[in-house]
Amino acid sequence: MRHFAVVGSGPAGFYTAEALAKAYGEAARMDIIDRYPVPYGLIRFGVAPDHQSLKAVSKRYDKVAETAGVGFIGNVCVGADVSVEELMEHYDAVILAIGAPHDRKLGIPGEDLPGVIGSAQFVGWYNGHPDFADLGPPLDGTHAAIIGNGNVALDCARILSKTRAEFDGSDIVGHALDALDNSAIKTITVLGRRGPLQIAMTPKELGELAHLEAALPLVDLNDFPPVEADDGLDPGQRKSVTILRDFANIRANRPKAMVFDFFAKPLAIEGDGRAERLIVERTELDEKGAARGTGETYEVPASLIVSCIGYSTPSIAGVPYDERAGKFLNEAGRIADRLYCVGWARRGPTGTIGTNRPDGYEVAEAVAAAMPAGSSGDRAGGEGLKALLGERGIGATDFTDWRRIERAEEAAARSGSPREKMVRVEEWLQALGR
Ligand SMILES: Cc1cc2nc3c(=O)[nH]c(=O)nc-3n(C[C@H](O)[C@H](O)[C@H](O)COP(=O)(O)OP(=O)(O)OC[C@H]3O[C@@H](n4cnc5c(N)ncnc54)[C@H](O)[C@@H]3O)c2cc1C
Alpha helices in 116-267 (DSSP H): 119-126, 151-161, 174-181, 203-209, 235-247
pLDDT higher than 90, residue 61: yes
Under the banding of pLDDT at 50, 70 and 90, the label for residue 94 is very high
Q: Which residue's alpha carbon is at the smallest distance from atom 13 of ligand 1?
A: 352
The atom number, within ligand 1, closest to the CA of 354 reads 11
Q: Which of 251-255, 373-377, 383-387 has the lowest mean pLDDT?
A: 373-377
Per-residue pLDDT at 375: 82
Under the banding of pLDDT at 50, 70 and 90, the label for residue 117 is very high
Q: Distance from the CA of 320 to the center of ligand 1, in angstroms?
A: 21
Per-residue pLDDT at 416: 83
- Which residues lie with the beta carbon below 6 Å from any ligand 1 atom? 7-13, 33-36, 41-42, 46-47, 51, 54, 77-79, 97-99, 101, 123, 152, 155, 343-345, 351-353, 356
Q: Which of 53-57, 87-91, 140-144, 238-242 has the lowest mean pLDDT?
A: 53-57
Which of residues 372 and 276 earns the better pLDDT score?
A: 276
Q: Distance from the CA of 38 to the center of ligand 1, in angstroms?
A: 13
305, β-bridge pairs: 116, 145
Per-residue pLDDT at 21: 96
H/E run at residue 13: helix 11-24
Taking every pair of Cα atoms in the chain, the longest distance, rounded to a whole number of angstroms, is 69
pLDDT higher than 90, residue 313: yes
0.85 exceeded by the pTM?
yes
Per-residue pLDDT at 133: 96
Per-residue pLDDT at 373: 84
pLDDT higher than 90, residue 22: yes
pLDDT higher than 90, residue 353: yes
Per-residue pLDDT at 215: 98
Q: Distance from the CA of 34 to the center of ligand 1, in angstroms?
A: 12
**What's the Cα-to-Cα distance from 284 to each of 118, 147, 198, 263, rounded to whole Å?**
26, 17, 12, 6
Mean pLDDT confidence for 43-52: 96
